[in-house]
Amino acid sequence: MDLLVVGGGPAGLATALHAARAGLDVSVWEQRAGIVDKACGEGLMPGAVAALSALGVHPPGYDLRGIRYVAGPRHVDADFGAGPGRGVRRTTLHALLREAVLAAGVRVDQRTARHVEQDQDGVVVDGTRAGHVVAADGLHSPIRSALGLNRPRRARPRHGLRRHYSLAPGATTWRCTGPARRRPM
Ligand SMILES: Cc1cc2nc3c(=O)[nH]c(=O)nc-3n(C[C@H](O)[C@H](O)[C@H](O)COP(=O)(O)OP(=O)(O)OC[C@H]3O[C@@H](n4cnc5c(N)ncnc54)[C@H](O)[C@@H]3O)c2cc1C
């Protein structure tokens, strides 16, 4: 195998897709099953929309003109300068990327990478040899930690919360449509 991608989130799947289309023999190990959901603002910035489009991935959603920061009665707006972003359910994005990766011939295994070793011929992960490994295992990357590549962390941990609301455009009332999800940042 030329490339083992550890982590099947957006970064890992996009990397695998680029590598497969460049002719490499690629596998992805993702420890969670099926379509992975996470607490997320679910807004693709214009650059992400363009990068996905270049990969032939066109997730359906709603155009985002810019960002509004709100604090009580005050707000500040900033429109995007490079075309619209897109509001997309994270599960929709993950499903489309996963479909594209599988169609490109990448193997996606439900498996947790635990031990990484490097030698002159490449990398061995839990007994599996690959030319290269991409650690796309998220913000708190266990592989980065295991290899001693962590940078000093913020003293105070932060957490993000996500909840879905059903809201007509321009409306001021909404209805909660799902449970809250919490995620360390
Ligand atoms: C609260 C919150 C809101 C956000 N909102 C937005 C937003 O609106 N728009 C935006 O663009 N970004 C947003 N982000 C950032 C975005 O979620 C991340 O940038 C993105 O998830 C990074 O993708 P990734 O593939 O690197 O990591 P992840 O999505 O975290 O994927 C890593 C994957 O690796 C797997 N994994 C971990 N360890 C192993 C292992 N040892 N073996 C196998 N698999 C493993 C995990 O199961 C996981 O699926 C938000 C982040 C937070 C915390």
pLDDT in tens, 44-72: 999 999 999 999 999 999 899 998 888 88
- What kind of fold does domain 1-37+90-150 have according to CATH? FAD/NAD(P)-binding domain (3.50.50)
Q: Domain spans of the chain?
A: 1-37+90-150, 43-88
Q: Is 112 in the pocket of ligand 1 (CB under 6 A)?
A: yes
pTM of the model: 0.90
pLDDT band of residue 9 (cuts 50, 70, 90) is very high
Question: 9 C-alpha vs ligand 1 centroid, how far in Å?
Answer: 6
User: How many other β-carbons are positioned within 10 Å of the β-carbon of residue 1?
Assistant: 15
Q: What is the DSSP letter of 106?
A: -
Nearest atom in ligand 1 to the alpha carbon of residue 12 is: 25
For ligand 1, say whether the CB of 130 is within 6 Å of any of its atoms: no
Residue range 105-115, pLDDT digits in tens: 999 999 999 99
Q: Is the CB of 141 under 6 A from ligand 1?
A: no
Tally of CB atoms within 10 A around 115: 10
